[in-house]
Structure 1
């Protein structure tokens, strides 16, 4: 098995109101040093549809647009061993969880967590939630944006992901 893979720092402004959590960056993302870098991943096209910044804009612009919208992006895992990019290939014994108590302490307005797929939700509920000392969070699993998750069309995924924009827009107006 390969060496330990290390994830990225979060994309997050201090006023983040919603957190999108993946499991661990793909090989394409790790190579590019950017979240959701695989060309067939639907994440950035979905964010473009929700927030207006083109999916092909420079990465720094896309990240800044999410911060401005109150959206944070991170992964549940800080590090792991995995061959390839599939979540099913993650070695469970190698999983290192990100420091969520510190993250939520630094982002006190954050109350909505959206999981980009099942693995992120499963690991978060099993290893993170109990460490958050009763913090009240709205947890929502969304369809994975991964090209490996081809069971839904882009349009179907967009319909599900619209709840992210509605939460950040409502929160921004309060």
Structure 2
């Protein structure tokens, strides 16, 4: 089989209110050592649209935008074997310690799963007893062929949750 690939460390701090979980980085992301590095992935475009920020390719600025808006980022899979970047090709996966992360960062009040694979894996990790709300969002991957506008519309639930938490 393939070499094992590993996810990145979480991007999180004590001000994080929501956690966005992907499955595991794709080839481009692993090459660049950046979350959502594939140019066709709409993750960063959606984040910048949601928060009315000017789009940038600068990864550190992207991370700063997440932190400024109380968003944490991680993956449900710590490591796995995979040919290519497709979630359907993931084999022999090991889960990330999501529960430990949530214990270490009690300010996180909602989890958003970027696509079905992360949602299904999170259900396996946490079981049915979520202590905080979990939302399934359409994948930002270019392979998920829903229009950008439709994806953006569904991702706006993040703003509703963040705004509720600040009232």
Q: Distance in 1 between matches of 2:130 and 2:109?
A: 8
The runs of 5 or more residues in structure 1 that have no matched partner are: none
C-alpha separation in 2, matches of 1:61 and 1:4 = 30
Asked if structure 2 preserves the Cα contact closer than 8 Å seen for 1:71 and 1:168, the reply is no
User: Partner residue of 2:143?
Assistant: 148
Matches within 5 A, 1:5-154: 5-91=5-91, 94-126=92-124, 128-130=125-127, 134-150=129-145, 152-154=146-148
* SS of aligned partner of 1:85: coil
Unaligned runs of 5+ in 2: none
For 1:2 and 1:39, the matched residues in 2 are separated by 24
TM (normalized to structure 1)?
A: 0.91
Q: RMSD across aligned C-alpha pairs, in angstroms? A: 1.4
2 CA distance for matches of 1:89 and 1:149? Answer: 15
Comparing both structures, which one devotes a greater share of its residues to helix? Answer: 1
Deviates more, 1:27-36 or 1:51-60: 51-60
CA–CA distance in 2 between the matches of 1:155 and 1:64?
24
Q: Provide the rounded CA distance (Å) in 1 between the counterparts of 2:130 and 2:113.
A: 17
In the aligned structure 2, how far is the partner of 1:19 from the partner of 1:170?
Answer: 16
Which piece of structure 1 moves more, 38-47 or 13-22? 13-22
Partner Cα separation in structure 1 for residue 59 and residue 20 of structure 2: 17
TM-score (norm 2): 0.94
Tell me the CA shift for residue 64 of structure 1: 1.2
- Displacement of 1:135 in angstroms is 5.0
Distance in 1 (CA, whole Å) between partners of 2:86 and 2:11 is 22
Map of 2:152 onto structure 1: 158
